[in-house]
Amino acid sequence: QVQLVESGGGSVQAGGSLRLSCAASGSIFRVNNMGWYRQAPGKQRELVATIASGGSTNYVDSVKGRFTISRDNAKNTVYLQMNSLKPEDTAVYYCNAHILRSVWVGNEYWGQGTQVTVSS
């Protein structure tokens, strides 16, 4: 079994910062791409940022310059540092990872979601 456990959500005023963490645990051979998605009420889930095992990153335009994704491969953990938060960043944030349980078996996994609320 593989689990992704998130932490770090909460409520903050506009302009504030939060840091999300997501740790993968269980029967893991290798963790490939990791990322963060978010879903606001009444909207579809959208990609926020991804990071490859080698460190290359990708961001949705709306968070560029404000959010930073990083990872600790030794801990199978991905982070999302969110600065200059805006009310439109309010959403449930989900961690995502492609994990190999063996050389031949890989699956996509999701965290349980963590609420981020930004008030104006």
The 10s digit of each residue's pLDDT in 61-118 is: 999 999 999 999 999 999 999 999 999 999 999 999 999 999 889 999 999 999 999 9
Average pLDDT estimate for 28-34? 96
How many Cα neighbours within 13 Å face the side chain of 65? 3
The pLDDT of residue 73: 96
Q: Write down the pLDDT at residue 51.
A: 98
Contact 5, 22 (CB under 8 A): yes
Task: Give residue-wise pLDDT tens across range 58-67.
Answer: 999 999 999 9
